Chain A
Amino acid sequence: MAKAVSHQDRDVILRVRDIEVGFGTKKILKGLDLDVYSGEILGFVGGSGSGKSVLTRAILDLVPRQAGIIEIFGIDYDEANPDTKLAIDRNIGVLFQHGALFSALTVKENVQVPMREYYELSQPLQDELAAVKLELVGLPLDALNKYPSELSGGMIKRAALARALALDPDIVFLDEPTSGLDPISAADFDELIADLSETLGLTVFMVTHDLDSLQAVCDRIAVLRHGKVLVNGPLSAMLEVEDEWVRSYFRGKRAQLGAIDGGHDHGDSTKSPMASPRPSS
């Protein structure tokens, strides 16, 4: 997962400009700017209640915003005609924090929902494709005919990821993908995301609290603070930021602990990740 960090020569897949979102009199996002480059894995961090989920939901047009422009695939979403919007929606996959699988449908049917709605495919082919997707996200195939209530937390995340990838989108939004998973499952999930990003050419926008995830898979990290992106760049850049919250986030107790344990969790790094950030190319 060594990718170029200089982004000048890369396509911007998602461009967010001057976004303002507020509820009542409380402003959550105050003129936020953000670029997501094609093919990268962007980790988005911020304190609880700082508006990470609000930003994701604003980008996905799930919460109204007071101001700002969102350009995805180079197209202004607000200005797009319905057909273009549909094409954009088809190219976006979302993994919600709690999976948001349809509880009345089996895993197989969940994965097939977008296929069925957008394309005319025969049932045997749909079944095969659902199996392919489940295999890609690492779910055992006996989960195909299970209902979401019969799955464990980790399996729900994987099944939801399979559904998000059903139409082979170009960009996926992951809302705390490793929350609620044990460290081993979380590391597996990180690896899965990195693998998929590479093989499917996915761009990943990941909201996370998991320092291990940030360290293991993210090409770039953006920090949300006071309703704006305070800083963005590789992990090494985070360690030089003189903001109280950023400092305690990346160099606090949990981070130290992560540094001790992190060494053998991820095969690619034997040194302490905090002391030596990943090479930048």
Chain B
Amino acid sequence: MTANPAYHLLMEDEDAQPVGQLVVTERGDTLHLEASGDWTLRTVELLDGKIRKLEEITAKAISVDISAVTEMDTSGAWLIERLRRRLLERGIELDVAPLADTSRGRGLVSVLKAHKIDVDQALAGSPGFSFLAPLRILGEMTLQAWRDFIMACNILGACIQGSQLKASNRSSIRATAIISQLDQMGRQAVPVIGVMSLLIGGILAQQSAYQLKFFGEELLTVDLVGILLLREIGVLLTAIMVAGRTGSAITAEIGMMKQREEIDALQVMGLNAVGVLILPRLIALLIALPILTFLADLAGLLGAIIVCFLYVGITPDQFLAAFETGVGGEPFIVGLVKAPFMALVIGLVATIEGLKVGGSAESLGKRTTESVVRAIFIVIFMDGVFAIFFASIGF
């Protein structure tokens, strides 16, 4: 047995290795090609151009001698075989000698000859650009939005009606699952949401106090911050934080379970996937988000109190008195009323996106991103709708 080709490949410097050569000599009507050197992936790129030029040549007969090739892999063999095919299409016979070479590599030419390799199929690319493409995308997006809406209705409906439709006698509402979800979504989110709201309350207070100082009405800071924080910012930022934290987790969990056929497994066990997976998460979200909003409101107000005291000298007593007369309980209620609706949207968007996850890792990532982006967008949009609603009922 001759030395394994890999050995010399490893021993020698890349540059020192023989490059593939193709010498063309013309003898009357016959073209004679002499291949030598290495015909491997390393060298085929250079040979490819030469061979492609030869494909267009007109000659009565062409022969190629591959006996001087030092090493040949599938790519080198393919170049010879492709030349043979292209010439054959134009009625020219390519004589490869020696075809039945027993040494490694050179025999590959005859192996490839036995296969039907449809190159056109390999080269079939993606459809070209069309001016109608943007319209098509818009149409697909609209249809997809409609399908998502129907799916959200289905999931919501299945939560209300379908989750108890299963063989076991256990209650359809799984207390342990809900509590464990509450722990993840609620309790573990308290520090980050608390600190964030504290900072936001402080920043709002500082900015308003700075502007109001020019009018000598620093005390109005309390009204401004109180209403803004309780009505809008507290609940909105909490919902955004929960969408990023919990919504993405729900999508990834459900998506991964779908990829690994765990959801199918639940189904064939006679368990209801909506009842087991989605309902506990939705209920936990519905409980957690209002509580987190409440805590965020408190933390935000605390931040405002601290900044007002340090920055413009409003004492906590003054702050609370001004708060009672100027703000009252109404904005607080308005903020809290919005929380469960936002929780529902976050949960539904997350589960829909999770169930849309396909087979690839890329799809999981894309769906998780989509879940967060959509949930945040819808939450902000909903907040606007609520603002109009509350304004029109004069609340």
Interface of A with B (CB < 8 Å)? 9-11, 13, 38-39, 73-75, 84, 87-88, 91, 103-104, 108, 115, 118-122, 124-125, 127-133, 135-136, 141-142, 144-145, 147-150, 165, 167-168, 170, 199-201
CB of B73 closer than 8 Å to a CB of A: yes
Contact A119 B41 (CB under 8 A): yes
Whether the pair B45, A127 counts as a contact (CB closer than 8 A) is: no
**Contact at A168–B9, with CB atoms within 8 Å?**
no
Q: Which residues from chain A contact B331 at a C-beta distance below 8 Å?
A: none
Please tell me if the beta carbons of A103 and B361 are within 8 angstroms of each other in the complex. Answer: yes
> CB distance B119 to A131 under 8 Å?
yes
Do A11 and B4 have beta carbons less than 8 Å apart? yes
Chain B, 108-150, contact with A by CB distance < 8 Å: what is the 0/1 string? Answer: 1001100111110111100000000000000000000000000
> From DSSP, what is the main secondary structure of chain B's interface residues?
helix
Q: Which B residues from 254 to 301 make CB contacts under 8 A with A?
A: none
Interface window among B74-82, B162-170, B314-322: B74-82
Contact of A201 among B104, B358, B361, B363 (CB under 8 A): B104
Closest residue of A by beta carbon distance from B48: A125
Mask, B72-109, CB within 8 Å of A = 1, is 01110010001000000000000000000000110110
Determine how close the nearest CB of chain B comes to the CB of A1; give it in whole angstroms: 16
Contact B41 A142 (CB under 8 A): no
Asked if B45 and A147 make an inter-chain contact with CB atoms under 8 angstroms apart, the answer reads: no
The one of A39, A87, A121 in contact with B41, judged by C-beta atoms closer than 8 angstroms, is A121
Q: Which residue of A lies closest to B72 (CB)?
A: A168
Q: Which of A9, A11, A132, A145 contacts B117 (CB 8 A)?
A: A132
15 inter-chain pairs at a CB distance below 8 angstroms, sorted by A residue, are: A10-B1, A11-B1, A75-B10, A84-B10, A91-B10, A122-B45, A127-B122, A132-B78, A135-B115, A136-B74, A144-B122, A149-B360, A168-B74, A170-B6, A200-B108
Least CB distance from A204 to B in Å reads 15
Choose one: A13, A104, A141, A148; the contact of B122 (CB below 8 Å).
A141
The answer to whether residues A129 and B10 also contact, given A119-B41, A141-B118, A170-B4 and a CB cut-off of 8 A, is: no
Given contacts A38-B1, A108-B122, contact A128 B45 (CB under 8 A): no
The answer, yes or no, to whether B44 is at the interface (CB within 8 Å) is yes
Shortest distance in angstroms between A117's beta carbon and chain B's nearest beta carbon? 11
B42 touches A (CB below 8 Å): yes
The docked-state distance in angstroms from the alpha carbon of A74 to that of B6 is: 10
Q: Please, how many angstroms separate the alpha-carbon atoms of A134 and B74 in the complex?
A: 12
Known: A149-B359, A200-B74. A167 touches B41 (CB 8 A): yes
Give Cα distance in the complex from A150 to B360, angstroms: 10
Q: Is the CB of A118 within 8 A of B41?
A: yes
Given contacts A121-B45, A128-B119, contact A73 B78 (CB under 8 A): no
Known A-B contacts: A103-B362, A136-B115, A149-B358. Give 15 more (CB < 8 A). Answer: A38-B1, A73-B4, A87-B9, A91-B10, A103-B363, A127-B122, A129-B78, A136-B111, A141-B117, A149-B359, A149-B360, A167-B41, A200-B74, A201-B104, A201-B105
Given contacts A129-B75, A147-B359, is CB(A91)–CB(B118) below 8 Å? no
- The answer to whether B45 touches A135, judged by C-beta atoms less than 8 angstroms apart, is no
> Is B328 at the interface (CB under 8 A from chain A)?
no
Task: Please give, as numbers and ranges, the residues of chain B lying within 8 Å of A149 by CB-CB distance.
Answer: 358-360
Shortest Cβ gap from B150 to chain A (Å): 25
User: Would you call B248 an interface residue if the criterion is a C-beta within 8 Å of the partner chain's C-beta atoms?
Assistant: no
CB neighbours (8 Å) of A103 from chain B are 359-363
Given A127-B123, A133-B74, A141-B118: A199 and B41 interface contact (C-beta under 8 Å): no
B7: Cβ under 8 A from any A Cβ:
yes
Residue B5 lies at the interface, judged by CB distance under 8 Å to chain A:
yes
A115 touches B362 (CB 8 A): no
User: Given the interface contacts A38-B1, A38-B4, A170-B6, does A131 sit within 8 Å of B122 by beta carbon?
Assistant: yes
Closest 9 CB pairs of A and B: A149-B359, A103-B360, A131-B122, A104-B362, A168-B73, A201-B104, A127-B122, A141-B121, A170-B6
B197 at the interface (CB under 8 A from A): no
Which residues of B have CB within 8 Å of A200?
Answer: 74, 104, 108
Interface membership of chain B positions 325-349, coded 1 if the CB is closer than 8 angstroms to chain A and 0 otherwise: 0000000000000000000000000
Chain B residue numbers with a CB within 8 Å of A147 are 359-360
Given A73-B10, A91-B9, A145-B124, does the pair A128, B358 have CB atoms closer than 8 Å?
Answer: no
* B residues in contact with A119, CB < 8 Å: 41-42, 45
Q: Are A199 and B111 in contact (CB under 8 A)?
A: yes
With A129-B75, A149-B360 already in contact, the answer to whether A124 and B6 are too (CB < 8 A) is no
Determine whether B40 belongs to the interface, using a CB cutoff of 8 Å to chain A: yes
Q: Please indicate the chain A residues that have their CB under 8 angstroms from the CB of B122 in the complex.
A: 108, 127-128, 130-131, 141, 144
User: Is B45 in contact with A125, judged by CB distance below 8 angstroms?
Assistant: yes
Complex: how many Å from CA A40 to CA B63? Answer: 35
Do A104 and B108 touch across chains, with their CB atoms under 8 A apart?
Answer: no
Asked if A132 and B74 make an inter-chain contact with CB atoms under 8 angstroms apart, the answer reads yes
Give the distance to chain B from A162, nearest Cβ to Cβ, in Å.
Answer: 11
In contact, B116 and A122 (Cβ under 8 angstroms): no
Cβ–Cβ < 8 Å partners of B1 in chain A: 9-11, 38-39
Say whether A131 contacts B4, CB under 8 Å.
Answer: no
Report the bound CA distance from A211 to B105 in whole Å: 31
Chain A residue contacts of B358, Cβ below 8 A: 149
